[in-house]
Structure 1
Amino acid sequence: MRRLWLLFAQVATICLALLLIVSTLKPEWVNKFSSFGKSAHLTSSTIPMLEAPINTVAPGSYRDAAKRAMPSVVNIFTTKEVKRAKNPLYNDPLFRRFFGQNPNPPPEKQSSLGSGVIVSANGYVITNNHVVNSADEIDVVLTDGRKAIAKVVGTDPETDLALIKIDLPDLPAITLGHIEKASVGDVVLAIGNPFGVGQTITMGIISALARNHLDINTFENFIQTDAAINPGNSGGALIDTNGNLIGINSAIFSQNGGSLGIGFAIPVSTVKSVMDGIMANGHVIRGWIGVEPQDVTPELAENFGVKENAGTLIAGVIRSGPADRAGVKPGDILVKVNDTQVTDRVAMMNLIAQLPPDQKAKLTFLRKGKTLTLDVLIGTRQPQPVSTTNDDDEDGAK
Structure 2
Amino acid sequence: MKRIILLLIVPILLLSNNKIIMEKRKTIVTIFTEEAGKTKLVAGVKFGTNKLITCAHSFLNKHDNFAIIDTLVPDSIPKSIDKPKILAINYKKDIAIILVPGANWKNSSKLSKLKFTKDDLIYAIGSPIGKQGGLITVGKFIKENSWRLHSDVLIDHGNSGGAILDKNGDLIAISNKTIILKATRENLGTYATKISSIYKVME
Partner of 1:139: 67
1:64–1:242: 8 Å Cα contact kept in structure 2?
A: no
Q: How does 1:1-398 map to 2 (within 5 A)?
A: 60-61=14-15, 62-80=17-35, 82=36, 109-121=37-49, 123-134=50-61, 136-142=64-70, 143-146=72-75, 147=77, 149-171=83-105, 172-178=107-113, 181-198=115-132, 199-210=134-145, 221-255=147-181, 260=187, 262-275=189-202, 277=203
Q: CA deviation at 1:194?
A: 1.7
Between the aligned partners of 1:259 and 1:249, the Cα distance in structure 2 is 19
Between the aligned partners of 2:20 and 2:190, the Cα distance in structure 1 is 20
Letter in 1 for 2:26: P
Q: CA deviation at 1:144?
A: 1.5
Letter in 2 for 1:203: V
SS in 2 for 1:65: helix
More helix by share: 1
Between the aligned partners of 2:125 and 2:168, the Cα distance in structure 1 is 14
Letter in 2 for 1:190: A
Q: CA deviation at 1:72?
A: 1.1
SS in 2 for 1:111: strand
- Specify every segment of 5 or more residues in structure 1 that has no aligned partner in the other structure, as ranges: 1-56, 83-108, 211-219, 278-398
Q: CA deviation at 1:222?
A: 2.0
Q: CA deviation at 1:261?
A: 5.5
Q: CA deviation at 1:145?
A: 2.6
- Seen in structure 2, the aligned counterparts of structure 1 residues 263 and 191 have a Cα distance that, compared at 3 Å, is same
Letter in 2 for 1:202: T
1:247–1:268: 8 Å Cα contact kept in structure 2?
A: yes
SS in 1 for 2:156: coil
Letter in 1 for 2:190: G
TM, length-normalised to structure 1: 0.42
Q: CA deviation at 1:138?
A: 1.3
Q: CA deviation at 1:58?
A: 5.9
Q: CA deviation at 1:265?
A: 1.0
Aligned residues: 181
Q: CA deviation at 1:124?
A: 0.8
CA deviations 1:156-204 (Å, max 9, x no partner) are: 122111111113444121101136x122221100000123422200011
Between the aligned partners of 1:195 and 1:260, the Cα distance in structure 2 is 20
CA deviations 1:108-144 (Å, max 9, x no partner) are: x2210101111111x1111111123346321111222
- Specify every segment of 5 or more residues in structure 2 that has no aligned partner in the other structure, as ranges: 1-10
- Seen in structure 2, the aligned counterparts of structure 1 residues 156 and 136 have a Cα distance that, compared at 3 Å, is closer
Larger Rg computed on CA atoms: 1
SS in 2 for 1:208: strand
TM, length-normalised to structure 2: 0.79
SS in 1 for 2:180: coil
How many percent identity over aligned positions? 24
2:147–2:196: 8 Å Cα contact kept in structure 1?
A: no
